[in-house]
Each structure stands twice: as structure tokens, then as C-alpha cells.
Amino acid sequence: MNISEATAKRIIELCNDKHISINKLASLSGITQSTVNSIVNGGSKNPQLKTILKICYGIEIPLYEFFKSPVFQNIDIDI
């Protein structure tokens, strides 16, 4: 799994945990639904940390909690 796939999976996990839709997440985070959809659907190969931080603010978790997930273990690094 690469970083963009792990990020997408984590966003979906958090939405499920918080019982919110991608649309609601976008609204809470102050970012467009198309941006969140692009990350979740794999269109965004390099999601910006600033966008992830906005998502964290929207669902009221600290940034470190976003990355504190097993999905970020054993990430394939494409250099």
C-alpha cells in the first residue's frame, strides 16, 4: 500500500467511526467535496498535509491521531 492509498483508507475509517459521509467531512473541514473525493478515490496521488490537517480539525482529532493507525505501517515508498 502506498501513502495515498493509506490516506484514503484512513479517511474512510474515520468517517465510518464518526458516522459521517464524505460530504459531511468536507463541510466540517472547510474543503470541497471534490477534494475529499479525489483523495478517497485515488485521484490525488499526493494529498497535501495541509488538507489532512483540515480534515483533522473538521473531525476534531489531532494530526498525530490521523497517522496513528495500522494502515500507515509498511508503506511502499515510491521515490
Query: Tens digits of per-residue pLDDT, 45-75?
Result: 889 999 999 999 999 999 999 999 999 998 8
pLDDT of residue 67: 95
DSSP 4-24: HHHHHHHHHHHHHHHT--HHH
pTM of the model: 0.91
Percent of the chain with pLDDT over 90: 82
The DSSP symbol for 70 reads G
| Spatial separation of the C-alpha atoms in residues 61 and 52, rounded to whole Å | 11
CA neighbor of 10 nearest in space, from 45, 44, 60, 56: 56
CA neighbor of 28 nearest in space, from 55, 51, 49: 55
Superfamily of domain 3-67: lambda repressor-like DNA-binding domains (1.10.260.40)
* Cell digits of residue 28: 466540517
